[in-house]
Structures are given as C-alpha cells and as structure tokens.
Chain A
Amino acid sequence: MSNEEFLNAIHSNQGIIHKISAFYRDSKEDREDLFQEIVYQLWKSYPKFKGRSKFSTWLYRIALNTAMASFRKRKADVRATDKLPERYGTKPDENPNREILFRAIGQLGDTEKAIISMYLDGFDNAEMAEVMGISKNHLGVRLNRIKNKLRTILNQ
C-alpha cells in the first residue's frame, strides 16, 4: 500500500477514529487529542500493516489500543448548564437516536465499548476476537451480555 493509498484509507475510515475518541474521552479537547494520538499511531504502525486483515480491522486494533493505553491529560470539564453538551460532536436534536445510543455506549466499561463499537460497525465475531485477542466463543458470549446491558440502558 502506497502512502497515498494509506492516507485515502484513513480518510475514508476516519469515522471509526471519531467514534472511538468520543467513547473514550469526555471533553471536546481530550477527544481531539485522542484523535490526533490515534492518527499518529496509525502512521507509525503503517510499515507493519501487511494487508493480511481488512484495513478497518487493523485500524480498529490500533485505535482501540491507543485509546485504552494512553493516559488522560486532564479531568473532564464538569459544568452545570441548561443545555445538553455536544457530547459526541453532533447536536443532540440533530439525530436524537444516535445521540441516545452514543450516550448509552459511553456508560459501558472500556472493553465493552470496544466490542460493541466493532459490532455496530458490522464486524463479525472472528474479526472482533482477532482484535481483542480472545477466543471467538468467549467473544460471542460476552457480546450477548454487552448487548443486553446496552438494551437495558437504552430502555431506562
């Protein structure tokens, strides 16, 4: 894959980075920082990408790894306000269902967020198991639990 092709692949898959940044960081500034960290790590890891897995699977692995391993710079900026914050980079009234889903995912644990975000992006169990480094069977069991937990949060 040439540099140009690699850049195009990141560009067309940047929604994944955007979502991961939103799930793993609270403030807008922290999300922007994480986005940059992920893109930096993608470029750094790019020589090791051999194309054995799908680009999006590889990107998910690097992005989730960066999000889960890096340290937050500062605490979340918590302020009382009469409006809902632009928590996930979209205005809440622009797409209420999406905002509700993102908020619900935000309440999950770090590994749960990783699995459910891949699932919602259409990954199969084998791909998710490969990224996480666990067996396919166990991932399946875990995914069902996370889905149930998410449904409970959504229906509250």
Chain B
Amino acid sequence: MELEELMSEYQKDNGSKSKSELTEMSRADRHPVLKRIRLQLIIESVLWAIVLSVYYTGFDGDQKSWYWNIILVVAIIFLLMHNLLGYRLMQSPINGPNITVSLKKFARKIRAYARISIATRVIAIAAMLAFFASTVIWNETKIIAGMLFVAVLLSLQIFLLWRMWKGRANRIQKKIDSLVSMENKD
C-alpha cells in the first residue's frame, strides 16, 4: 500500500458539523475544559463566600485581632485568584506565529503558573491554619504536634501540585524537544 495512493482517501474526510453547530462552538461556555474550570471556580467561590459570611461569628472571627481576619480573607482571595489564573492559562494555548514558538511560550507560562499555583496554595493553607490556631493555648506537645501536622499537610500539597504541573510541563517540553531536535540532528 503506497502512501501516495492513500492521499485521495485521506482528503475525502469532510466532517459532518452544521454551520450552526460550528457557530455554537465559538462560545466559551461550550468549551469543554473552560466549562469545567468555570464550574469549579463558581462552586469554590460560593463555598468561600459562605465561609466568609459565617466565619466572623461562626469561627470566632469577632474575638480575634483584626489582622487575623485580614489574613483569612487574603488567603481565600489567593485561592480564588489561583483558579482565575488557571482559567486564563487554559483559555489561550496559542501564543506564537508557529507551533514551535507557541509551545515554547506555553511551556514558560505553565512553569510560571505552576510556581504561582504552589505558592498561593501554600500561603493560603498556612494562613488558614494560622487563623484557626491563633486562639490555641500552646504547650510543648501541641507545638510539636502542630508543626508536624503543618509540615505533612504542606509537603503533601506541594508534592501533589508539583507532580501534576511537572507532568504537564514535561509533556509540552517533550513535543518542543522533538521539534527542536529536527533542527539540530539533521
């Protein structure tokens, strides 16, 4: 079977979508990945809004210093900002005049977002733990147990996020390497 003989067969594929279906697909609310991120963003925003609306009395926010309240609010804003950045990242994978340039820029954006993602999560978790621990009367045992708990929780969070973003960045990098090696090997 020769490739050239198969070319006409290959070019026969005309697809079957109607013009109205193709127009519908131009809407961001039909984009499969963005739809999922948006849903996650809405659910998290609603949940955090509920937390913020009840924490002042429910979690003794009124009995804590003003700076602890600010820290908690900032932590939640960090988490929401993190999701928004993820949405923006996935919205624009095309960043250049050709595939090589575009993938290189996208890989840089992924690495930058990975750092922001890990930093915002760690800061947010640390701030929340600090908020809830601010009224605890500490003794030696509680300090050791608390430090262990925080260390395990933060390490786990960092590790899981790092592994996920490293995997994504590596997959893009492999494609870039394959394109760049064409230039270098031949």
Q: A residues engaging B (CB < 8 A)? A: 7-8, 10-12, 14-15, 17-19, 33, 35-37, 39-45, 61-62, 64-66, 68-71, 73, 95, 97-98, 100-101, 109-111, 114, 120-122, 130-135, 137-139, 141-142, 147, 150-151, 154-155
**In the complex, what distance in Å separates the CA atom of A135 from the CA atom of B175?**
17
Task: Report whether over half of chain B's contact residues are helix, strand or loop; otherwise say mixed.
Answer: helix
B140 within 8 A of A: no
In the complex, the answer to whether A7 meets B23 with C-beta atoms within 8 Å is yes
From known contacts A7-B22, A70-B93, A101-B6, infer whether A132 and B98 are also in contact, taking CB-CB under 8 Å: yes
In the complex, the answer to whether A33 meets B178 with C-beta atoms within 8 Å is no
In the complex, the answer to whether B31 meets A40 with C-beta atoms within 8 Å is yes
Nearest residue in B to A70 (C-beta to C-beta)? B93
In the complex, the answer to whether B33 meets A71 with C-beta atoms within 8 Å is yes
- A12: B residues at CB distance < 8 A: 14
Cβ-Cβ contact count across A and B, 8 Å cutoff: 149
In the complex, the answer to whether B1 meets A97 with C-beta atoms within 8 Å is yes
**In the complex, what distance in Å separates the CA atom of A122 from the CA atom of B26?**
28
Nearest residue in A to B5 (C-beta to C-beta)? A97
Output the least CB separation between A55 and chain B (Å).
14
In the complex, the answer to whether B175 meets A130 with C-beta atoms within 8 Å is no
Nearest residue in A to B27 (C-beta to C-beta)? A40
Output the least CB separation between B141 and chain A (Å).
45
Q: A19-B10, A154-B1 are in contact. List 13 more A-B contacts (CB 8 A).
A: A7-B19, A7-B22, A10-B22, A15-B14, A40-B34, A65-B99, A68-B172, A98-B6, A109-B178, A133-B99, A133-B100, A134-B183, A154-B3
